[in-house]
Amino acid sequence: MHQATVIPHRKIIREWLAPIVTKNTAYAICLVVMDLLLFGLAFSAAVLLAQPALQVLAGIVTGLVIGRLFILGHDACHQSLTPHRRLNRWLGRLVFLPSLTPYSLWDVGHNVVHHGYTNLKDFDFVWQPYSLDAYRRLPAWRRVLEQVYRSGWAPWLYYGLEIWFKRMYFPSKKLMPTRRGIFTADCLLVTGVAMAWVTALVYAAYTTGQSPWWLLSVGFLLPLLVWNALIGFVVYVHHTHTRVAWYAQKKDWSAASPFVSTTVHLTFGAGIGNALHHIMEHTAHHVDMGVPLYRLKQAQALLEAKLPGHIVIQPFSWAWYFETARRCKLYDFEQQCWTDFAGQRTS
């Protein structure tokens, strides 16, 4: 292992990346068009194929393509997909629709909160771990739910309930004190899309002689389930690792260079990283949100060459994933270590 160097100021690191942070409008639009076509093909297959097993497979593929579209929207929301702000906003809203993601609410929760305060307790709410005391104060049903969330089997449930339903789909005033007209408009937009989606499937069922419930299952529920599982998994593995710390105090968090130390570069084989639009090159993304997804691989390689020993690089395996889920249940913010649900240190 390389000996860790001193992490320079973020401004200096961004200067390293400056030659890489160039946006290509034509290429970005080609990516959007390609993934929209893939979505249309996969969705059509889920509706029209004659074999139920093939329809299920097509429904799963549809959910995965929703993930690809969302990653493009994620870049657009960061204003890193193209150099044009208005175009980014329109493209972002468009490619967020299949995942039923309200653009403006994702912008606030992700860009402002998550990127502004990554792994800072009571600020960054995405997969924030409880301390032992906080966990014990939860009602019994909520402790059980936390055990389910942290089992490794339920990223789909966590994202669907804790992120999308509570914080993005008509969020309560308690969770989103700021009330803006655009928030309501975006929620109404995705509601309209969901209603049109369901109506189209019911109509397709009657015109093709299929069960409406079956088509709703393979053409609506299954893709959204797969999508929720994918995004829940991605955000979990990006910031949950035995070498990744969470912080209770802002001064400690600031001193830890959190834009480098609180993210994981999860590596895959078989082209999976490419299939996910390089979203797993996550350190580079947190260092500079302006790096387009089609430059992230190059940016990540540069950072790992210049900051040896500081970036958490983890080859993916299911054994590693479930071992992480077993060890990373709660967090001791004083000792800065992960624990199990009994408070026993595991990292």
Tell me the mean pLDDT in the region 145-155: 97
pLDDT in tens, 58-84: 999 999 999 999 999 999 999 999 999
Distances in whole angstroms, Cα of residue 249 to Cα of each of 120, 121, 252, 256, 315: 7, 8, 5, 11, 31
Q: What is the pTM of this model?
A: 0.94
Higher pLDDT, 243 or 7: 243
* 156 pLDDT tier (thresholds 50, 70, 90): very high
pLDDT for 288 equals 93
pLDDT in tens, 231-274: 999 999 999 999 999 999 999 998 888 888 899 999 998 789 89
Higher pLDDT, 27 or 178: 27
Distances in whole angstroms, Cα of residue 80 to Cα of each of 85, 91, 94, 292: 9, 12, 16, 5
- Residue written as token pair 């249309």: 40
Secondary structure of residue 312 in the 3-state scheme: strand
pLDDT for 7 equals 86
pLDDT in tens, 82-104: 999 999 999 999 999 999 999 99
d(CA 42, CA 60): 9
pLDDT for 5 equals 66
d(CA 285, CA 195): 34
pLDDT for 261 equals 86
pLDDT for 270 equals 78
pLDDT for 255 equals 87
